[in-house]
A and B are shown apart, each in its own frame.
Chain A
Amino acid sequence: MAAATDGPTPGHRSVMGEPTTDGRFGDFGGRFVPETLVAACEELEAAFREAWADPAFVAEFETTLRDYGGRPSPLTECRNLSSQLGVRLLVKREDLNHTGSHKINNVIGQALLAQRMGKTRLVAETGAGQHGVATATAAALLGMECKVYMGAVDVDRQALNVFRMRLLGSEVESVQSGSRTLKDAVNEALRDWVATVENTHYCLGSVMGPHPYPWMVRTFHHILGDEAAAQCKDLTGGDPDVVVACVGGGSNAAGIFSGFADGDARLVGVEPAGGAAVGRGVPGVVHGMTSYLMQDEVGQVMEAESISAGLDYPGVGPEHAYLAAIGRAEYPSVTDDEVVEAFTLMSRAEGIIPALECAHALAWIVRAAPDMQGQTVLMNLSGRGDKDVDQMMDVLGMHGIDS
């Protein structure tokens, strides 16, 4: 297994290295939380630095991901889609991890860290439910109490994941405030943490929030980028020409980008058209960070609208804002219609039902393929689509066997 080498190593000079001491990636990041939580963020940062420098902690993290999480995940060459699209399409199979997505990497890291810090309770936000399920799983494994906040809109469209979390022993709270989606679930989780910080760890699910979360979460996901880089080298002799991942908050993209950021590969993060935080390019401050943020003309945060609950987020992780600002990565967006086509295409061409989130990445590849003929394209298939089949049955009108 590739070692998680990019910890807080002094002097590390990666494009995706350690943020500044005040948690900045360029102009982005920071620690914009109520005063009550500042000390908790500082304590978390110190604990993470200490743990990540401890070989015993890193070994426990990697062993758990191997023996329990199923790592390393394979790299699949998609021959049928490759011949259809005229590119060499390689797919990193995070959908095959335990709990069905890349999210397990981060929650195992944070849950082990929380336990090491003496915390007995986890809270989490979730959109599609993948991070909530992963957190509930880690809580069950480590014997911790767990409460997951999920927007009421998402509770309705992701009933299976709600059941999974409850089955795993977690409490799920349906969030009725604001737009009743992911951003409001984050607010509610933060409100919980403000009140329970003494015994509770906020297991944030993406590369967002106050320092050290964006950096810590990305570091826990490095393992997938490192694996992918080694697997690409074994298969093709080098880096791919293009690395593509979907971006909501941006954790799976950060994980896979981190394996290639210091090379020459083109990095592409695909946003939903209704949640294109980077694409609209207005800096703002919410959920603890300065980053690009969808907001109205006076600064009220706008509601994202996407077919995929996991990408229904008006902001983006601050390191992605930085990578966009310096021109190292690009962040195009795709429409819901393109996503539905890609979802069906991958299912039929490869026998892989992708999560709607990852279908965004494939949708962009389909659109851009004419300009990438003959190139090697690596896509992070960050999650499996089982959770989406109920919703897609309606979208595609494929109930029963006659339609």
Chain B
Amino acid sequence: MNGAEASAQRAHFGALETHLRARRDTGAKLLVPYVTGGYQGWQRAVEAAAAAGADAIEIGVPFSDPVMDGPVIQQASTAALADGATPASVLEEARELDTGVPHAVMTYYNLCHHQGHERFASALLDAGVCAAILPDLPYVEAGPWLEAAAATGLEAILLAAPTTPEHRLADLCGASRGFVYAVGLLGVTGERTALARTATEIAARCLAVTDRPVLTGVGIGSPSQAVEACEVSDGVIIGSAVVRTLMSDGPEAVGELVASYRTALDHG
């Protein structure tokens, strides 16, 4: 494949945000499941999630030191790495996916830093991925990455936390591309028995300073919690619940799980 063909395969810059805005404009609440790339059966899980009504898919590229992840995603990452998953192998497999919805990658900054910002962004785009989330690269350190991603045509998604001060929040939301990832609680990824009070608070704070889609993630563990979060937020990211299902019941069960969230959000 020559360079022109490779570029033609790439989604246009802003594809994720354009898609999410259009979906939001129809009145839909946005649903983005996370699947750990490289874990056994992960591609079928992604396809099942998309078929069950996901608006976009977040693909985890496993990293040795996933400091923002709780036990479930840690376990899946460790298993995928033990099976030989690498950033290149996960992206190669991601390229084969045809889901009809945009794909974002979630991984940790050292994998991007090691490869170089532009090369990392290009590798994602070549795999049909249009956005990236790097949870250990906060806004205050993200400047060079945001520039490189924009220049390459990749949407760099930033995270806003309950502890993000007001004076930084508007700039952060303004600099994020694709959507704003509102971290729902003080803590790492994982399901909780109840939705944290902070989940709706941070979503509301973000929505007050941006018209970009705001999705709440971290700590959403049931369809009813997703509905509760979406009373304020534009949508939700569900990670540990999906990965737990993949690990215990296999990829087809992921489709059923995502369908239960879709139904709840559409009729909640």
Contact = CB atoms under 8 A, between A and B. Distances in A.
Contacts of B136: 32-34, 285
Contacts of B188: 191, 194-195
A397 to B, nearest CB: 35
A113 to B, nearest CB: 19
B113 to A, nearest CB: 5
Interface in A5-55: 22, 30-40
Nearest to A40: B163
A43 B165 CA distance: 11
A24 to B, nearest CB: 11
A209 B114 CA distance: 19
B86 A31 contact: no
Contacts of B67: 34, 187, 190-191, 287
Contacts of B135: 34-35
B25 interface: no
Which of B110, B135, B162 has the largest count of A CB atoms less than 10 A from its CB?
Answer: B110
A178 B78 contact: yes
A299 B111 contact: yes
A177 B74 contact: yes
Nearest to A290: B113
Contacts of B88: 298
A36 B162 contact: yes
B165 A39 contact: yes
A30 B164 CA distance: 18
Contacts of A83: none
Interface string B61-91: 0011111101100100010010000111000
B231 to A, nearest CB: 23
A178 B113 CA distance: 21
A35 B183 contact: yes
Nearest to A179: B64
Interface in A274-289: 283-287
A382 to B, nearest CB: 26
A32 B109 contact: yes
Given A298-B86, A301-B65, A198 B186 contact: yes
A195 B161 contact: no
A32 B159 CA distance: 13
Contact of B163 (A32, A38, A187, A290): A38
Given A183-B65, A286-B110, A300-B64, A35 B161 contact: yes
Interface in A76-130: none
Which of B115, B141, B183 has the largest count of A CB atoms less than 10 A from its CB?
Answer: B141
B165 to A, nearest CB: 6
B187 interface: yes
A170 to B, nearest CB: 22
Nearest to B162: A36
A301 B188 CA distance: 20
Interface in A286-318: 286-287, 290, 293, 295, 298-302
A300 B111 CA distance: 7
Which of B86, B135, B140, B162 has the largest count of A CB atoms less than 10 A from its CB?
Answer: B140
B139 interface: yes
A97 B24 CA distance: 63
Interface in B136-156: 136-141
A197 B64 contact: no
Contacts of A285: 109-110, 113, 136
Main SS of chain A's interface residues? mixed
Contacts of B164: 35, 38-39
B65 A34 contact: no
Interface residues of B, number: 41
Given A178-B65, A187-B67, A299 B115 contact: yes
B254 interface: no
Contact of B70 (A191, A293, A299): A191
Given A177-B74, A298-B86, A31 B114 contact: no
B141 A30 contact: yes
Contacts of A347: none
Given A32-B138, A286-B110, A298-B87, A39 B163 contact: yes
A39 B159 CA distance: 13
B138 A286 contact: no
B26 to A, nearest CB: 30
A196 interface: yes
Contacts of B111: 298-300
A127 to B, nearest CB: 16
B243 interface: no
Contact of B65 (A194, A195, A286): A286
Contacts of B159: 34-35
B160 interface: yes
A299 B138 contact: no
A40 to B, nearest CB: 7
B138 to A, nearest CB: 5
A37 B140 CA distance: 11
Contacts of A198: 186
B113 A299 contact: yes
B139 A35 contact: yes
Contact of B138 (A33, A195, A197): A33
Given A34-B135, A285-B110, A301-B65, 4 more contacts: A194-B68, A285-B113, A286-B65, A300-B63
Interface of A: 22, 30-40, 177-178, 183-184, 187, 190-191, 194-198, 283-287, 290, 293, 295, 298-302
30 contacts: A22-B140, A32-B109, A32-B137, A32-B141, A33-B138, A35-B135, A35-B138, A35-B163, A36-B161, A36-B163, A36-B183, A38-B163, A39-B165, A40-B163, A177-B74, A177-B78, A183-B65, A184-B65, A190-B67, A191-B67, A191-B187, A191-B188, A198-B186, A285-B113, A285-B136, A287-B65, A287-B67, A298-B88, A298-B115, A300-B63
The 7 lowest CB-CB distance pairs between A and B, nearest first, are A299-B114, A195-B187, A36-B161, A300-B64, A35-B161, A39-B163, A301-B64
